[in-house]
Structure 1
Amino acid sequence: MRDIAAGLAEWRAAGLRFAIATVVSTWRSAPRPPGAAMAVAETGEVIGSVSGGCVEAAVYELARTVLENGSPVLATYGVADDDAFAVGLTCGGTIEVLVQPDTGLPDHVLSAVCQGRAVATASMLERGEGLGRRIHVPAEADLDGFDRVVADQAAGMLAAGATGVVALGAQGRRVFVQSFAPPPRMIVFGAVDFAAAVARIGKFLGYHVTVCDARPVFTTRRRFPDADEIVVRWPHDYLASTTIDARTVLCVLTHDPKFDVPLLVAALRSPARYIGAMGSRATHDDRAARLRDAGLSDAELARLSSPIGLDLGARTPEETAVSIAAEIIAATWGGSGRPLGDLEVPIHR
């Protein structure tokens, strides 16, 4: 829902009612992951998507019904031979969609999502009177019984940045928890010409982007308009002073030993999810030798993606940024980086 939150806030500010359809479960080759959302306003306007176009028309009609009667609905869409192009998923997958009226979405939760603050929503999936009832974390009031169990589960999933369906309680009641953790960080070290393109694609992918370099003449807002933060400090000093977690991506584009060796020593001992360094193969070999001399083990060096990026034949800074982003995505989700046409694995995992 994060990608449509600003639109929802505009509708609410205008006094418009709306219904939100959210993907809660997927099977096989579903085109959108759990958490993907589409909303329909009482004016008929639509934002977002739950399937990339396959079942949007059917979900639109369902949302209009929810707007009329105020009752949440849980629907499943899969392939039907006779009407696959009408209301089915032509990709061969199955999705479960929960459609809820906006009345269960408080202003403070919507504001938190828009502002990138940590919040989670838990929606009941058991059919009946309680279908679609929401519990929010952090909770506004004390909870007990099953609601406390749900809130504790949601808090744990929020801390891990996880979204999905869980079975809770003695009866295994199904609950959909959607986490809205703050955006993961991308820190780009080195105010070089490639850094602006990497910062731009990092923002496009949803990262909070910081550009850091020790040289103030190059590290300016004019050169990096897409970055969230511009930091003029020695890279290893900044890394030691900032928060790095298991979702953080570090792109070292300095390819200058006086900058990148002390930086990479610290980076490769941090919990960062991805650490890539730019440079030629000769630069990589020299850098690896310097890092070993600095005390890094082979296991620590194995975490380094160098030379940075996938082999796309990139030449320009923009093309290079795409190759770096492709490697980050592959590292995040376990992709092979090979052409899909050469593989028989599911397209949507």
Structure 2
Amino acid sequence: MSARALELAQRRVPFVHARVVRAQAPASARPGDEAIVYGDGTIDGFVGGLCAEGSVRTAALGALNGGGPLLLRVLPAGEAVFPDTPGARVVVNPCLSGGALEIFLEPVLPPPLIEVVGTTPIAEAFVALADVLGYATTRSLPDAPPAEHTGAVIVAGQGRGDAEALRTALDAGVGHIALVASRRRGAALLDELGLTDEERIRVHTPAGLDIGARTAPEVALSILAEVVEAVRARPAPMPERAPVPERPPERVDPVCGMTVTVTAGTPHLAAGDEEFWFCGTGCRDRYAAGLVG
């Protein structure tokens, strides 16, 4: 599982790592069992039977869509086991045949990807500082298109390929573009490129926040601070990662009352003009038998 997680991280695919940390017999999962939950609800691995898996899927998608890390406690109906733990979410699953599970759900979201153009001291210092913050950086030639899901482009060639790099970043739709230049040279270059008003707004020059920076590392720090602001504070932040797929819809199982995340494999039944989804085939068959009876 660790190899698969590493591969997904390298491909910048968001996912949730689920690991069983406690299990009570007769639960089928054991401590240490783990799985990967993708943004479309697909689960790769094992963290319990069908009913427990449904609870994990729904909670994991919530964690992936802004909920953050979560300790999920899955209990059978009528049982009160495991003491309360701050930060835990309790799900009572009436379909469990017994036992109880605690599963830690950790969203793995790729860090912001920043492209740096140039080999100047400022460019080198920026890459070093971005690494300290855990941001991913790439280096490219001025006329090379940015990598997919690039959130920001820092143009630090100081006259070498700056125009080409700006034009390429603008055409690629990069949300945050910073040009390392004096205010006068930056304005002149934007005039030469004949940018529209909308395009000019997307280019930040001089790059960085005004912190009185003088040395190359200080300038790099000011640029990185501006990137952090773009990621964390602005109303429309730059994209930080590959987009998470649209969260699948949720429905309530009419038999057991569980909240069910609807995926291609979710047990389903059409009755007249209505459609129903179930946590497992047992609930579906019980509901179908009731319709027949």
Aligned equivalent of 1:121: 17
Structure 1 Cα separation of the partners of residues 173 and 56 of structure 2: 29
Between stretches 276-285 and 137-146, larger displacement belongs to 137-146
Instruction: From 137, 144, 152, give the equivalent of 1:209.
Output: 137
Report if aligned partners of 1:269, 1:300 keep a CA contact under 8 Å in 2: no
Aligned equivalent of 2:113: 185
The percent identity for this pair of structures is 26
Corresponding position: 1:248 with 2:151 = yes
Report if aligned partners of 1:244, 1:272 keep a CA contact under 8 Å in 2: no
Aligned equivalent of 2:86: none
Query: What is the number of residues matched between the two proteins?
Result: 200
Change (3 A) 1:243 1:259: same
Aligned equivalent of 2:162: 260
Q: Structure 1 stretches of 5 or more lacking a match?
A: 1-105, 213-232, 337-349
Structure 2 Cα separation of the partners of residues 267 and 306 of structure 1: 14
Corresponding position: 1:329 with 2:228 = yes
Deviation at residue 312 of structure 1 after TM alignment = 1.2
Corresponding position: 1:275 with 2:180 = no
Measured against aligned partners, the alpha-carbon deviations of 1:149-203 in whole angstroms (never above 9, x if no partner) come to 6447746976x79735599xxx996687422244432211111121111111121
Q: Structure 2 stretches of 5 or more lacking a match?
A: 38-42, 78-88, 92-102, 236-293
Q: SS of the residue aligned with 2:230?
A: helix
Aligned equivalent of 1:309: 208
Report if aligned partners of 1:122, 1:177 keep a CA contact under 8 Å in 2: yes
Structure 2 Cα separation of the partners of residues 304 and 194 of structure 1: 18
Report if aligned partners of 2:119, 2:157 keep a CA contact under 8 Å in 1: yes
Structure 1 Cα separation of the partners of residues 228 and 11 of structure 2: 21
Corresponding position: 1:163 with 2:68 = yes
**Divergent runs of 4+, >6 A:** 113-117
Aligned equivalent of 2:251: none
Change (3 A) 1:114 1:185: closer
Report if aligned partners of 2:34, 2:45 keep a CA contact under 8 Å in 1: no
Structure-2-length-normalised TM-score: 0.52
Structure 2 Cα separation of the partners of residues 301 and 182 of structure 1: 29
Q: SS of the residue aligned with 1:191?
A: coil
Instruction: From 168, 181, 190, give the equivalent of 1:288.
Output: 190
Structure-1-length-normalised TM-score: 0.45
Deviation at residue 134 of structure 1 after TM alignment = 5.6
Change (3 A) 1:166 1:328: farther
Q: SS of the residue aligned with 2:219?
A: helix
Change (3 A) 1:297 1:136: same
Structure 2 Cα separation of the partners of residues 287 and 315 of structure 1: 22
Aligned equivalent of 1:139: 44
